[in-house]
Amino acid sequence: MYHKHNNPLRKTKHSPSPSAKSILCLLFFLASFISVSSYANTLSFKSDAPIEIESDHVVFDQNTGELTYQGNVIVISGTQKLYANKVILKRDNQKGIQSIQATGTPAHFINLLKDEVTPVHAYASQIDYDPNLALLTLTGQAKIVHQADTFEGPLLRYIIEDQKIEAIHSKNQRPKMTITPQG
């Protein structure tokens, strides 16, 4: 969060700080990548569609409500698909799905947006979805691709209800965007 006295977007005689540049890039990205309103349901399993899961092996722990799928895992819900080497789904009988964690080389999430021809692709070593926080976290060589535009970094968080993408830098890698002009 930014305080009024520490506004990274205000004009100064100095060049913008790296965090101000990141904010400006993120704002530009959000404006040109795809419209935020259509992006709201891009990266979540939040829908009324049932979730179908296939894998080579599955273990269900009735005590914890945890299902572990391994080997060529495919998760399908509506227009959303998730491909991974391993998926751990935690559920509560009263509250439903508590979390979904997918790992792969990379794990690959695909969603076809309403009124779009080209799907959105998200890649990461680990993809975590928390329906209670409406939060999708992509960790490890995280990348989101829509048409010719890309957004990548070591850690990407998508806060679904707030329609915000947060890119976190690591010691060795900063977030990066590639925006291809339309036309």
45 contacts 100 by C-beta, under 8 angstroms: yes
68 contacts 86 by C-beta, under 8 angstroms: yes
Q: Has residue 4 been placed in a domain?
A: no
Angle at 130 between CA 101 and CA 121, to 5 degrees: 65
Whole-angstrom Cα distance, residue 168 to residue 155? 5
Q: Has residue 8 been placed in a domain?
A: no
Q: Has residue 156 been placed in a domain?
A: yes
Q: Has residue 173 been placed in a domain?
A: yes
Q: Has residue 5 been placed in a domain?
A: no
- Burial pattern 106-121, b for ≥16 Cβ within 10 A else e, equals bbbbbbebeeeeebbe
Q: Residue 159 sits in a domain of what CATH number? A: 2.60.450.10
pLDDT (tens, 9 = 90+) of the chain, 183 residues, equals 444 444 444 444 444 444 444 443 343 444 333 333 333 344 555 556 788 999 999 999 989 999 999 999 999 988 889 999 999 999 887 878 899 999 999 999 888 777 778 888 889 999 998 888 878 899 999 998 888 888 899 999 877 667 677 888 888 888 888 888 876
Whole-angstrom Cα distance, residue 19 to residue 25? 10
Residue 157: beta bridge partners? 137, 166
Give the per-residue pLDDT at 47. Answer: 57
Q: Has residue 183 been placed in a domain?
A: no
Q: Domain residues for 34?
A: 15-178
Give the per-residue pLDDT at 52. Answer: 92
Query: pTM surpassing 0.85?
Result: no
Whole-angstrom Cα distance, residue 28 to residue 181? 12
Q: Specify the number of domains making up the chain.
A: 1
Give the per-residue pLDDT at 84. Answer: 98
Q: Has residue 63 been placed in a domain?
A: yes
